[in-house]
Amino acid sequence: MRKEIPHSVGMELELRGPWHWSVIRPVAGLLTTTGGAAYVYTGIAFEIPLVRSLRLTPAFAPGLVLAPGDGDLGHVVEFRSSLELSVAPDRMVRVGLGFSHISNAKLGTRNPGVEVLTLRLAFGAT
């Protein structure tokens, strides 16, 4: 979302398993972009119910860069922190808007980081 970072469109596939402990749920995912980047991650999400079917979901997931694409983030290990607001119009569908930041937490000599805005459509999500 910053001018100095190359922009691209991405697709993310995320699995939030059926297992959970209170509001904590494990997540794993793969993010790819039209710029040739690929990132795989695993971590935890905190699914916090709000009013009706509205849900706030902060998450944290360390991961590995499989391909840097057009934006080298400075290290093979990167950390993804995110915040999502979603609603379930149906028992088996959830629609949300998410914002995440991916960076290497100064593990490398460079740490430009990248911001990601996501429109999320989840199936089988209650």
Give per-residue pLDDT as tens, 11-43. Answer: 889 998 888 899 999 999 999 988 888 999 999
The predicted-structure confidence for 75-112, as pLDDT tens digits, reads as follows 999 999 999 999 998 888 999 999 999 999 989 888 88
Say yes or no to pLDDT of 6 above 70: no
pLDDT category of residue 113 using cuts at 50, 70 and 90? confident
pLDDT of residue 23: 92
pLDDT of residue 1: 57
Q: What is the 3-state secondary structure (H, E, C) of the chain?
A: CCCCCCCCCEEEEEEECCCCECCEEEEEEEEEECCCEEEEEEEEEECEECCCCCEEEEEEEEEEEEEECCCCCCCCEEEEEEEEEEEEEECCEEEEEEEEEEECCCCCCCCCCEEEEEEEEEECCC
Say yes or no to pLDDT of 121 above 70: yes
Averaged over 34-59, what is the pLDDT? 94
Rounded to two decimals, the pTM is 0.86
